[in-house]
Chains A and B, each alone.
Chain A
């Protein structure tokens, strides 16, 4: 039996590859946009503007304190109720982008606040503007603290993207669900799903480890 289903599974491979492509597309798009938004939020969250700081903080806490599945449902099923109709794919990207932005915001804010206040004082004293300080003095140093957990977060987000299969995005998890109805060998089918996620995540895990080592050992330059 195993052999028969195995051959079936091999024949379904193109379907899995398509699903994997969808997973990469959803998470890739969300990670890019989430990184951009997350950096902006993180910079504002570490700024002196109290209102923005607490607004962003409240939003981040809300998102971190609710299940991602619920967030995906809200975007897909509840937003249409107030007139925002979305296909499954954009809904998935919006929800995952927001989740990514929230986690990245905290990493970025933490990295910025970890730069010693003397650095900002020295830059202020020499007349650099707030933007110049951020661009030339604060961010380059904060990146040391930010990069390793940032890439680690990417791994988590690629895996979290499997949740969007619940609203009908045909990602690699959804392909697993569909295939297991034809090939009733759960271990084999979801084993393949797991391997495909691992293929995407493993290089990122390695990159995170390398960055971690580089940032802690070489304290002199990036």
Chain B
């Protein structure tokens, strides 16, 4: 469903993605980890072309994301994206936040979108918060609204860019619970995170990155108990 072939990207002189090869199947949950500055956020931001790549092939759901002529609107509609800093629209209620894209991009009728939106808010445990503004919600609640915003587009895959890194420790659980449920329902997910408990529970593979390269790809059990590379060992020692 997502296929990187020899993908390279530079920020000026910095080689931020170095010969990336990665395939993600439909229904697969992949956790990407690595030290900060290793290119893991850039990797998933390329998938919906929040960042363009400079070399190589990147095919998402059969569409050529590397090709500048490709119209991204259609692809982006199929990809839910959750940011570290939530990025909810502060001038809209929770319900408006999650229904604006279905209404404007998918051309769903407002009443229908709101019905769907309320169902999805209930699913992330915020059925009573549809009229709340983002500033009236806690960090964990805001991030769950952000996940609901992605889900409301009925996407084929969800990308998470360090979704719990900006949260107070006591709120991390409520967000991870929602993500675990999603994973178990068969959503295709790529999650950049250091939450190794989450990786153990639902990830099919863990991708370890350092300095723009994919160093190791392995099932979580193997990665945690028997990391192959020296750098993975150092990283795991530091975070576990």
Q: Point out residues on A near B: beta carbons under 8 Å.
A: 116, 118-119, 121-129, 132, 136-137, 140-141, 219-222
Contact = CB atoms under 8 A, between A and B. Distances in A.
Nearest to A129: B73
Interface string B146-169: 100110010000000000000000
B101 A118 contact: no
Contacts of B149: 122, 126
Contacts of B72: 127
B87 A119 contact: yes
6 closest A-B pairs by beta carbon, nearest first, are A126-B101, A122-B87, A125-B81, A118-B87, A127-B76, A127-B77
Given A121-B83, A126-B105, A219 B135 contact: yes
Contacts of A118: 83, 85, 87
Contact of B136 (A128, A220, A222): A220
Interface string B77-110: 1010101010111110000000011001100000
A125 B82 CA distance: 9
Interface in B44-87: 48, 50, 72-74, 76-77, 79, 81, 83, 85, 87
B84 to A, nearest CB: 9
19 contacts: A116-B87, A121-B50, A122-B83, A122-B89, A122-B149, A123-B89, A125-B48, A125-B50, A125-B76, A125-B81, A127-B72, A127-B77, A128-B100, A129-B73, A137-B100, A220-B90, A220-B133, A220-B135, A221-B91
Contacts of B133: 220-221
Contacts of B104: 128, 132, 136
A124 B83 CA distance: 12
Contact of B90 (A125, A129, A141): A141
A124 B76 contact: yes
A128 B87 contact: no
A119 B86 CA distance: 9
Contacts of B77: 126-127
Contacts of A123: 89
A44 to B, nearest CB: 22
Contacts of A129: 73
Nearest to B159: A125
B101 A127 contact: yes
Given A126-B105, A126-B153, A137-B100, 8 more contacts: A116-B87, A118-B87, A121-B83, A122-B87, A128-B105, A132-B104, A141-B90, A141-B91
Contact of B50 (A116, A124, A219, A221): A124
Contacts of B50: 121, 124-125
Given A121-B83, A132-B104, A219-B135, A127 B153 contact: yes
A128 to B, nearest CB: 6
From B72, B83, B104, B136, residue with most partner A Cβ within 10 Å: B104
A118 B83 CA distance: 8
Of B76, B88, B91, B101, chain A has the most CB atoms within 10 Å of the CB of B91
Contacts of B83: 118, 121-122
B79 A219 contact: no
B73 A137 contact: no
B76 A126 contact: yes
Nearest to B132: A220
Contact of A137 (B89, B105, B136, B146): B89
Nearest to B78: A127
B73 to A, nearest CB: 5
Max count, chain B CB within 10 A of own CB: residue among A122, A140, A141: A122
A132 B85 CA distance: 22
A125 B100 CA distance: 13
Contacts of A136: 100, 104
A118 to B, nearest CB: 4
Contacts of A221: 91, 133
A218 B56 CA distance: 48
A146 to B, nearest CB: 13
B91 A128 contact: no
Interface string B20-52: 000000000000000000000000000010100
